Amino acid sequence: MTLLRKIIDWIDLRIGVREVVQKELTGYLLPRNINAWYSLGSILFFAFVLQVLSGILLLVYYVPDAEKAFKSVSFIMNEVPFGWLIRMFHAVGSNMMVLALLLHMLSVLFMGSYKRPRELNWLTGFILFIMVQGISLTGYLLPWSQLSFWATTVATNSANAIPVIGPYLVEFLRGGVLVGPPTLGRFFALHVAVIPIGIVALIGAHLFLLKRTGVSAPPFGQKETGNQWLGDSYHYENHPGGIPFFPHFALEDLRAIAIYMACFLAVLFFDPYLFFPKDAFIPANPFVTPSHIKPEWYFLANYQTLKIFPNELIGLSLQGAAMTFLALLPFVDRGPERHPLKRPLFMACSIGGLLLWIGLSIWGHFS
């Protein structure tokens, strides 16, 4: 212990690390009524780090070439020591991360944490959500399986419905008229470089905004649940008499992450193919169209919306409108009240929207 203390003293003398720890960890106070939903942000950060690490390991053996991609994934799954674990970790992890992200957004919605002055927190979070969907979509193609190939064909085809620029956009996305080797190259670059860099930058912005505005107190267990910010000047929301981030909330985060990992491992080891349709392990064949190609579960509602309308442009426009509305929600919903039970219109709309999304997803799954 003396040696450890000496090392810490040595570092502290040079960069004042004790002051940083006091300010950012032990002295960083959070609301006393903070709940488990607040740990979803930490879970997401942890899940993203796991995705990056497992992705880097996959890069060692993965070959982004249409001729070799499927075989390289098969090689990882069958020949590389623990390759199956790393590949499944990455594939199952992406689905679990999307699930955690949806829960995180729902908790922010229902606790009214997106309200001013946190509009930018919501906006950066929403863009992160879009980027996570983007990284999932681009990653879907990389194994170059029947599922990858045809799901990407259908997904990119949707852009055709956009007037005037649609066909050009499809060709730009695919790198050709049809999904082929150039598409794989593009999606690979997006998946391993462009989107991850964007995600890291946005996570940085999201955390910076969180630090600047302070954590919002949950509206539960309080008499006054309205928004206290008057909008006249910058104000950091501190929580005098709150619990310190370390060790109190760090332990709650650790508990939440461990529970998340337990769920993740349960899927990984006992039902690893939960998210894999049967075409996921058949090599891509541009000449054989599988009868029922479905997107990932979180795109099923979008998929079904496109199918409901006789024209894809209407379906796309509706989805675009819904996404824009969600992105700009803090600028639309400007009421001060944050408690969900005191916001009946919001509750009715959000529960209705959620049920609609679930219903469309189930319909899409069975259609």
Partner 1 sequence: MRSRDGIRPLFVRLFALMLAALITHLLPQTSFAEGPAEIVCIQCHSGMPEKYSQPVKLWRGSIHAENGIACNSCHGGDPKDAANAMKPERGFLGAPKEPAIPAFCGRCHIGVMNDYLASAHGRALGKGGPTCVTCHGNHQVLKATLELINEKSCSRCHSFDRARMIRDAMQQTDGMITTAETRIIAFKKVGSDTEKLEKELFALRNRFHSLFHNVNVEMVNKESARIQADLKKIQSVLATWDDTGRKRKIAGAAALSLMLLVALLAHLLRKTFDET
Which residues bind to partner 1, rule: CB under 8 A? 73-75, 77-79, 84, 87, 153-154, 157-158, 160-161, 163-164, 247-248, 251-252, 254-255, 258-259, 261-262, 265-266, 268-270, 272-273, 276, 278, 280-281, 289, 310-314
Q: Is the Cβ–Cβ distance between 330 and 126 less than 8 Å?
A: no
Output DSSP code: residue 245. I
Collapsing DSSP to helix, strand or coil, 366 comes out as: helix
- The tokens describing 347, both together, are 């509750």
Cβ closest to partner 1, residue 10 vs residue 273? 273
CB of 7 to partner 1, least distance (A): 25
CB of 94 to partner 1, least distance (A): 16
CB of 77 to partner 1, least distance (A): 5
Q: What angle do CA 237, 241, 245 make, to 5 degrees?
A: 75
Interhelix angle 119-141/312-327, nearest 10 degrees: 140
Cβ closest to partner 1, residue 22 vs residue 26? 26
DSSP secondary structure of 21-79: HIIIIIS-EE-TT--GGGGHHHHHHHHHHHHHHHHHHHHHH----TTTHHHHHHHHHHT
CB of 255 to partner 1, least distance (A): 4
Query: For 219, what's the count of Cα atoms within 13 Å in the CB-facing half-sphere?
Result: 21
Cβ count within 10 A of residue 84: 14
Sign of CA dihedral 339, 341, 342, 346: positive
Cβ closest to partner 1, residue 154 vs residue 323? 154
Sign of CA dihedral 293, 180, 283, 191: negative
Cβ closest to partner 1, residue 20 vs residue 263? 263
Q: Where are the alpha helices (DSSP H) in the chain?
A: 2-15, 17-21, 40-61, 69-78, 83-110, 119-141, 146-157, 166-174, 181-189, 195-213, 250-270, 300-308, 312-327, 329-332, 344-366
Cβ closest to partner 1, residue 273 vs residue 331? 273
Cβ closest to partner 1, residue 117 vs residue 218? 218
Cβ closest to partner 1, residue 254 vs residue 326? 254
Cβ closest to partner 1, residue 89 vs residue 346? 89
Cis, bond preceding 117 (omega within 30 deg of 0)? yes
Dist CA 234 CA 236 (whole Å): 7
CB of 26 to partner 1, least distance (A): 12
- Pairing, β 29-30 against β 243-244: antiparallel
CB of 132 to partner 1, least distance (A): 23
CB of 294 to partner 1, least distance (A): 12
Output DSSP code: residue 337. B
Cβ closest to partner 1, residue 238 vs residue 311? 311
Calculated CA dihedral for residues 25, 26, 31, 32, nearest 10 degrees:
140
